Structure 1
Amino acid sequence: MADKHLLTCKNLHAGYGASQVLFGMDFTIDEGEVIGLLGRNGMGKSTTLKNIVGLLKPTQGEIWWEGKALNTMAPDAIARLGIAIVPEGRQCYPNLTVREHLVAFAGNRNGSANQWTLERIYDLFPRLAERSQHMGGQLSGGEQQMLAIGRALSTNPRLLILDEATEGLAPLIREEIWRCLDLLKQEGQTTLVVDKYVDKLVGLADRHIILERGKIVWTGSSAELDADRSLWVRYMGV
């Protein structure tokens, strides 16, 4: 399949056993775009992300990466293509140090000359430099989120996915994460973000996809979403 898009999901159906969650989703992501994936809890956002990274396989439909079918690929092979996820719950390793997290997964998957080295990640999150010898299990929730983002960036991904980017974080830490994402956008990082803070996402993302019961019910630009607050109330309870 020849495809000018970086990522294409076509007629995507998925679920868990007999429970179907996604119903015929169609969307694309282009190089350099920042996309917000929105909707209330339980509407299929995390299931969508799990299908993209290979942790869950579609029951119907196709996922393409620059024309390469991802459906049958294992998660590690998908990761090597340049897709990195900051998972919900962070999933830092309790018995690895901060530094070990950031060097164990390091790679050059985007071919950029401006690589995310250990030093650049420490510059982005000075707190990680201060805690470099601490174990993952010794960090606060905010520090773990910084570490999970740093770990993903250390692979120099072509597509960075964040599931609940600022969930459960203190306001100051949330602002730090939004600052980081804005910097990544300025550098041209292609990003797919799930987060409930719609007011922040409209200032960051180029486009948004809203899910309701496993279907795409709206898609459009940040300007369009900002102009129609009824969408916020109807589909996100904001």
Structure 2
Amino acid sequence: MSEGATLLLEARGLEAGYGASQVLFGIDLDIRHGQVLTLLGRNGMGKSTTLKTLIGALALRRGSIRFGGELVHGRRPDAIARLGVAIVPEGRQCFPNLTVREHLVAFADQRNGLRDGWTLEKLYALFPRLAERADNLGHQLSGGEQQMLAIARALSTNPRLLILDEATEGLAPVIREEIWRCLRRLKEADQTTLVVDKYIERLLGLADRHVVLERGRVVWQGDSAALDADRGVWSRYLGV
């Protein structure tokens, strides 16, 4: 990512919650084109709630969200998705009665005729296991294969912003390595990405910047070198 890269997503003063409970207290978040940004923190600190506000699944109580310079808060999740935001949700959420190929074709976005976009063939090259299981239904896949499918399905939309929520959670080590390999390839391709994950050591070599949340507030942010050097942040806010 170049230093002069323009902002793709700009969130200011995000406040949100559930019923009478407020979870976010003035979150600011910037993501530049081609950047890999992580959202870190212990469980229950507001990471998933932040993601929900960004994709329109949870209404803001206060604040603003701009995507590509356009105000998007208050829009439906499908409208925000059509602007180029794709999420790989926690829990994968693959359709049990669709084949692997049907997952990847049904959600494909060919609007822009992207020469370098994610075609079915490129997705199979990224995850050869999916090519082998192309005719298998979602419920016939292992957890790791479902995770690969969830990532490939999101990429099939050729997103401007890819969001990954705990993409390596609960996976066998060999499958987890496959996911990290995929994320490195996406970084090399300048895919703008927002990652929530607990494997901080791996994120240091992947991400450009990190944002740490504590009780719904940003308590630290900086690049990988700064996070690596300040292990106090790890112990105070990340439980490491």
Give the TM-score, by structure 2 length.
Answer: 0.96
Tell me the amino acid that sits aligned with residue 132 of structure 1.
A
- The Cα of 1:121 is off from its aligned counterpart by 0.4
- The Cα of 1:137 is off from its aligned counterpart by 1.0
- The Cα of 1:110 is off from its aligned counterpart by 7.3
Name the SS for the 2:157 alignment partner. coil
Find the partner of 2:227 among 220, 225, 228. 225
Q: Say if 2:216 is the partner of 1:179.
A: no
Consecutive unaligned residues of structure 1, counting only runs of 5 or more, are none
Consecutive unaligned residues of structure 2, counting only runs of 5 or more, are 1-5
Task: Provide the residue aligned with 2:130 in structure 1.
Answer: 128
Deviation readout 1:19-76 (Å, 9 max, x if unpaired): 1110001121110000011000000101111111111111111111122111121111
Return the alpha-carbon distance in structure 1 between the equivalents of residues 113 and 228 of structure 2: 35
Aligned length: 235
Percent sequence identity over aligned pairs: 69
Contact 1:109 1:155 in 2 (8 A): no
Deviation readout 1:183-214 (Å, 9 max, x if unpaired): 00000000000000000001100000000000
Return the alpha-carbon distance in structure 2 between the equivalents of residues 203 and 122 of structure 1: 25
Contact 1:38 1:194 in 2 (8 A): yes
Question: Where do residues 182-193 of structure 1 align in structure 2 (5 Å cutoff)?
Answer: 182-193=184-195
Structure 1 pair 112–225 and aligned structure 2 pair: CA distance change class (3 A): farther
Q: Say if 2:208 is the partner of 1:206.
A: yes
Return the alpha-carbon distance in structure 1 between the equivalents of residues 233 and 60 of structure 2: 28
Contact 2:60 2:74 in 1 (8 A): no
Name the SS for the 2:175 alignment partner. helix
Find the partner of 1:145 among 139, 144, 147. 147
Give the TM-score, by structure 1 length.
Answer: 0.96
Task: Provide the residue aligned with 1:31 in structure 2.
Answer: 33
Contact 1:109 1:157 in 2 (8 A): no
Return the alpha-carbon distance in structure 2 between the equivalents of residues 199 and 110 of structure 1: 37
CA RMSD of aligned residues (A): 1.1
Question: Where do residues 30-49 of structure 1 align in structure 2 (5 Å cutoff)?
Answer: 30-49=32-51
Tell me the amino acid that sits aligned with residue 223 of structure 1.
A
- The Cα of 1:112 is off from its aligned counterpart by 4.4
- The Cα of 1:108 is off from its aligned counterpart by 4.0
Tell me the amino acid that sits aligned with residue 30 of structure 2.
T
Return the alpha-carbon distance in structure 2 between the equivalents of residues 109 and 36 of structure 1: 29
Find the partner of 1:195 among 197, 201, 204. 197
Task: Provide the residue aligned with 2:158 in structure 1.
Answer: 156
Tell me the amino acid that sits aligned with residue 17 of structure 2.
G
Question: Where do residues 72-91 of structure 1 align in structure 2 (5 Å cutoff)?
Answer: 72-91=74-93
Task: Provide the residue aligned with 2:61 in structure 1.
Answer: 59
Contact 1:55 1:75 in 2 (8 A): yes
